[in-house]
Structure formats: structure tokens, C-alpha cells
Structure 1
Amino acid sequence: MRKLACLLALMASPAFATGLQIEVEGEAANGMIEIDLLEDVAPGHAARIAELAAAGAYDGVVFHRVIDGFMAQTGDVQFGKIGQDMRRAGMGGSDKPDLKAEFSDVPFDRGIVGMARSQDPDSANSQFFIMFDEGHFLNGQYTVVGKVTGGMEVVDAIKRGKGRNGAVIGHPDVMKTVTVTE
């Protein structure tokens, strides 16, 4: 009921929620991550993440791609739910249309949240990643949608993947609940 009320409030108001609280649990990371969504930098992407979070779409979604010294990726609401066949995690999105890129001058520093996409700059949908360290080679090529304002130690503890692509093997850490905040 609370999620429905949040979603209705998002749709009724031109101003939308400005953040997320992500409760993470797993073998490696347990705790709360707080993220400020940057509506002034990427309004379409921030609105999409808030909409999916308010609808509960991110609840139970795993961190499927985690590369030490780089980033932790999550948000595949189609194939990334805990308990599903994880071999397809990272290949899906939401039932919403892809988003047009909203590139900015905000650099990809530690704690920045970016939107994952395919080769097409206008293909971001639901997946996002959190930077462990700076990755300025991403600047101007991926949309910055937020920044971690609390719980970076939880981000740092997320279970790392294996190999060059960072695929998490076994039991990945999961976003147990994702709540929209104001």
C-alpha cells in the first residue's frame, strides 16, 4: 500500500522524490545505501529509477556484475530477481521504453551512480551501477543519475564477480528493498 501511495504521489506531482534507500543483504554486504537522485542532471533517468523503485520493481534484484576497483551493477528487473536463473541477469530491463541519453559534465567519481546501457547511447532502461572508484573514461558517455550519500561501506562490501566481465558466481548480494525518499 505504501509503495502504491508513493507511485501515485510521483505521478501526481511535477516534482518527484529525490532519493533512494537500498537495503542490501547477502554473503558479503549487509546494510543500507542512501542515494541522492540528480533530477537536475538527468531528469528522465531519475524519474525512471524513482518510478521503478516506488512500484517495488527493484526489490529482490541482485548485483549481477561487480568489478573490483570499478563498479557494482544491478537493476535488471526482468532477469535479475533473486531465485531466478542468474545466467540471464544483466540482459533485461523493465517493460518501459529505453531512455534518451542525458550526458552531463558530472564526472564518474567514487560513489557516483550511472545508468547501464548497451552500445546504443539511448538504450538505458532500468539497470544502474555504483562506482567503487573514479572511472573518468565513462565521462560524457554514460548518464550520471545519482550519488551515494550514505552507506558507501555497504557498497564497498558487495560481493565481487569473477573474470573480465565481473559476473557474480553463486549467491550474489541483493537489493532486498528499495524505497523512494524525499
Structure 2
Amino acid sequence: MSDASKTETPDTEALDSADIARVMELLPHRYPMLLIDKIRDMKGTESAVGIKNVTINDNFFQGHFPDQPVMPGVLIVEAMAQTAGALVINGLGGEGGEKMVYFMTIDKARFRKPVVPGDVLEIHVKKIQSRGPVWKFHGDAIVEGAIVAQADYSAMIIDKADKK
């Protein structure tokens, strides 16, 4: 086989999952705002499943609510956005140091059941469309097979070098 007929695929495109170390390479978020523990089933820039192990040690439970801890809905949507951001950066073959993801809109957000300590939150994200730097997604947050939250949202993906 000649070199001309070989096609090189960057390692990042071949990955269909990301452990916490890889998630931290892809995203600038850190504790307490990093809301994804790992990602699985990444399909290019099309879809992925983020995993958040919800524990009583998560800092937001101190005030939401002390006697009946519930994960804030806005943080569930943020976990959707982080999963989508990591998916896109990974699928484009980039590192978090090269790209920035800016959350733009949230539409049709629905919160169906509370998420509590001990839950394993599966965040299923799917790209709806992308036009230039603007990407739109749908997210379903699932616990034990039941949808607990849903949202459509968009983000702008830019090269850090282009940031002004």
C-alpha cells in the first residue's frame, strides 16, 4: 500500500469515550463547575452520553436544599452543555486549549423528576444542526431509564486564537 492511499486519523477522532482526564483536556471547567465524570458513545460530532455520578459531596447540595437535597435544574442543563462541548471539541480533533465553547441559548427546558444524591445522571446529547460556529443540540438527562430533564440549546464554538 502506498503512502498516498493511507489516510491518517487523529487519535481524538477515534475515541468513542473519555475518562475524567480526557474530559479535563477537552473542557476548561474545574471543580466545582466540572459536572461530567466521563463520556461514552461519542459518535464524531453527532452524539454522546455524559455521565455524572451525583453524590452528597457535590457542593450545591449545601444550600439546595439542606433537608431535601436536589440537583439544581440549571446545573443539569450545564452538564448537557459540557457534554456537547466536549463532544464537538473531541470530534473536531481539537484540545480544550485550542477551542472555546460559549453557551448561547436554552429552549424548551423541562424538568420532570428530581435528581438526588446517589443517582447516576446519563446526559444524552445529539447535534440538531451546525452552521459555521453556531451549533444546536438536544439533551435528555436520564436516571435509571427515566427522563428527568430535557432541553434544546445552542453554543458558539470558536478558536481561542480568534477570541476578542
Q: TM-score, normalised by structure 1?
A: 0.28
Q: TM-score, normalised by structure 2?
A: 0.30
Q: Which has the higher helix share?
A: 2
Larger Rg: 2
